[in-house]
Amino acid sequence: MKKKLRKLEERLGCSLKDQELLIRALTHSSAAEGSTEESNERLEFLGDAVLGVVVSEYLHSQFSTWSEGELTQAKAVLVSEPTLAAAARRLGLGEVLRLSRGEAQSGGRERPSILCDAFEALIAAVYLETGFEKVRECILRWLAEPIESVALGEYSKDYKTLLQELLQEEHRALPAYRVLEESGPDHNKTFVVEVHLGKKMLGVGAGKSKKEAERSAARQALERHRNAEA
């Protein structure tokens, strides 16, 4: 394990003196169950908050002409589960995750939600040991690829696209949208839309167009998914 951790730190571009903290960041709840060990869940909570601040501050400072809506969408892409899971794969986190045997055998090392949580827990570990400036530097380096795509306008995925990618990866299936309600005069209509996966309702959204309502429903579905995985 020590050899694997040294290789991980080389890929991270930073080293942590507190190896127990690093190990905790890599410990899934399945590995800690039934023992006195602590999983990475509390670290993931902190890392999520730190990540949000870093990404928000960076977008606000670098893209001064963008509207609030554009900044919100860019942030949603950069902190989304698919983006963070991809970053975790580039760092090789799956190789060093501590999982139960059953979780490992069922594909846990490649599961997006587990990789995403480990990535955020790692952020918290770096923050606790090195402080905000160092963790900011690390986050921007680890997310350099999607950040560059955002800057070039090549990564303008909205909530519908993010939800579609998530469901394709986890269920090999596509979401379906259904209009529940359409009200108001022709020049000022309001639409209410549901998004489903098979018979399961994932989210509901409203908007002044069908597309806007679908995006709102997809956003709620993504938020529910993250909360369920937390």
Provide the annotated active-site residues: 48, 120
Q: What is the DSSP letter of 67?
A: -
Strand partners, 195: 177, 203
CA dihedral 17→19→24→25, nearest 10 degrees, is 50
- Nearest Cα to 38, choosing from 121, 154, 155, 101? 121
The residues, any chain, with a CB within 8 Å of residue 21's CB and separated by 6 or more, are 125, 128, 129
Q: How many residues does the chain have?
A: 230
